Structure 1
């Protein structure tokens, strides 16, 4: 017998501030769509309100999924994306590119606005206080995919009053605890609280790679936590990145590489910036470009300062903040490679998306990347500048690029149906 599923919507509320989704936002949205469509029992949502956590019925969550797909332009096409249109003008040129302004701090009123926007969408035209958790169906599974609310005990206190509810958490990684030097102090503090909540409440854990599972198990053991089952299931790739993408006559004519994700210290953008002038000099007349698809993050000032002060970098580094997923797929499909020289990752979704599209991936040699990309990725130590220079230079050459594309042609990744079959088995066993 399948239990009802209560979806935690805290991250969804915060994500309404974004015009485009991050990787984990798309994963959470995929969970919602899949469970609403196929889970044999009821599916509903939990929303924090001034009156505490309340639950809202299935039809509101269905409306919420449609709302996010609409504001994130997930159902559109690449053709109408203004960022992709700008890159098609910039990449063939040699004019210096304007460096984006500094990241604006999130203000409290922004958070309240985001909450209000999402709450109005979920609650509907007629105001509803939702339903008290005391009336939530017995024996439900509380499913938290978004990670965010687990670091704030106020969102979990209700679990103490509902011992019949089983808790399943997706834990993306333990990076803020393993490498606090690469994360904001507030993020590390929140992750400590997340681990405390996991040790106290979780009945089942889901992780994206065996490597992430190993670090999580070690962290829980260090805290003296009970043994909690951990299912390592590689993340699925959306259909958007599975559809054939025709070569773009403008983009495909000019060699460029894509690094996707927030510009923050753990992503190691500086390695690429340090080798790029040499990469440009090696290929006169076919100078490769670097497209940074992501917004400013923690400790990113040095990256943007370096670009501002270098004429070579300003002519060969482009920015693509705010792209829709269809446009990102088109950008990746026409690239020489998706690169990710990160010092640490929980999975590394963009390179896998790129490989599904048939684009080579050059990755830092870390456990999560090897788990995600297998024998199809090119792995280089994240501190090996000369190694990265040689690998990327080989992909500017058409012969090397063709060989690399042949290497990823047989790559396979989870789609949503195959992924949810494994997740469904895990949930059914709770």
Structure 2
């Protein structure tokens, strides 16, 4: 059984890396018809349980193969839901094999599910005491939780204050209930288990690198197509605009280049990602950019359009202070895009020596690397620094073979 609460809550929004992991699990488990499969989700009014057919129908709507249905009466009176969330929760109820109010969850799970099933949660949503207790004491489920990072505890300065307390409580529940923890990297396991060990011995665990899907490129909007087809080089930073991603560092570099160089020599910077939190100074700098600035903020691109841009970019820039996995960097390597990154342990673990590593306390070094790539020939597979050659990206089949074999 897979918990899909996060995907339903984020209906209508651009998928984050965590969302895409949950989606990959849903796709794989729906397709594996050799065993019974169920999905669980929390809604405004309680919990819904779907079998494989229902999960397949919901998957088609999440991926856009089918449209979500109309909001039902219960959703129409739920004031806090977005229009898309109302439609998503309505379709959950339409396709559910059973549903219940919160206080009846354990009874519902006991009656509807086979004893001893495997429960997977990859989205850090719905991992409440109520749900975990009901799974453990109802159908006697084996509880598997995928943890993406320990950033809220290791780097609280880059996280909203409430997220630190929420994540600490989440780890306590995982330590108390989980039969197994799945980690996306050895670096994540080392960091998380250091926190878990402060309370009790950590649960059994496995490291399984996240897979990367092969996504075809998609046509770009005219303005981006003209930019990316132009001879003028461009660089990308990909991800939510939040403090730990260190966008301010790149803005400083571009400010310096604009001050020191002729405008025609300054490469473009594409900032691809929606605005996050606690980053008002960066937002103000972006809002104050003149219309002719070589810096472009893009927040609604599809995965296919991102792939097209990566295939044409001089490099993906990754000056993050902390990452759990750094999925965009792995995706860039897959399409042959050069990478310039901070020397984080997870990057050296997953990408090895492919990126050009540079400390984020040396903006002049970064500027030198950027201008070197801007002046060089951009060709996938060439031996320019930072360009991945013969990189074999982690794939989902390998991930699931490891995770499900141990389940």
Aligned-partner Cα distance in 2 for 1:245–1:377: 27
Please, what TM-score do these two structures have when normalized by structure 1? Answer: 0.81
Count of aligned pairs between the two proteins: 383
Tell me which residue corresponds to 2:104: none
After TM superposition, give the deviation of residue 404 of structure 1 in Å.
3.2
Aligned-partner Cα distance in 2 for 1:309–1:249: 24
Q: Does 1:341 align with 2:319?
A: yes
Choose the corresponding residue for 1:287, options 266, 282, 285: 266
After TM superposition, give the deviation of residue 330 of structure 1 in Å.
0.8
Q: Does 1:58 align with 2:52?
A: yes
Aligned-partner Cα distance in 1 for 2:146–2:262: 44
After TM superposition, give the deviation of residue 419 of structure 1 in Å.
2.4
Please, what TM-score do these two structures have when normalized by structure 2? Answer: 0.86
Aligned-partner Cα distance in 2 for 1:406–1:377: 5
8 Å contact from structure 2 (residues 48, 96) kept in 1: no
Show CA shifts across 1:106-141 (max 9, x none): xx9444655432222223279963691112111111
Unmatched tracts of structure 1, length 5 or more? 1-5, 74-107
Show CA shifts across 1:252-300 (max 9, x none): 4331111111111111000000011333444753421111111111112
8 Å contact from structure 2 (residues 341, 358) kept in 1: yes
Choose the corresponding residue for 2:125, options 136, 145, 148: 148
C-alpha root-mean-square deviation of aligned residues, in Å? 2.9
Choose the corresponding residue for 1:196, options 172, 180, 189: 172
Tell me which residue corresponds to 2:182: 206
Q: What does 1:2-401 align with in structure 2 at a 5 Å threshold?
A: 6-18=1-13, 20-38=14-32, 40-49=34-43, 52-70=46-64, 109-111=79-81, 113=83, 115-124=85-94, 129=99, 132-135=108-111, 136-150=113-127, 152-162=128-138, 164-223=140-199, 225-240=200-215, 251-253=228-230, 254-280=232-258, 281-282=260-261, 284-311=263-290, 315-399=293-377
2:92 aligns to what SS in structure 1?
helix
1:263 aligns to what SS in structure 2?
coil
1:148 aligns to what SS in structure 2?
coil
- Structure with bigger RCO (C-alpha 8 Å, 6+ apart): 1
8 Å contact from structure 1 (residues 354, 361) kept in 2: yes
After TM superposition, give the deviation of residue 239 of structure 1 in Å.
1.9
Aligned-partner Cα distance in 1 for 2:389–2:374: 19
Aligned-partner Cα distance in 2 for 1:244–1:270: 29
Higher helix share goes to which structure?
1
1:318 aligns to what SS in structure 2?
strand
Alpha carbons of structure 1 residues 385 and 116: separation in structure 2 relative to 1, 3 Å: same
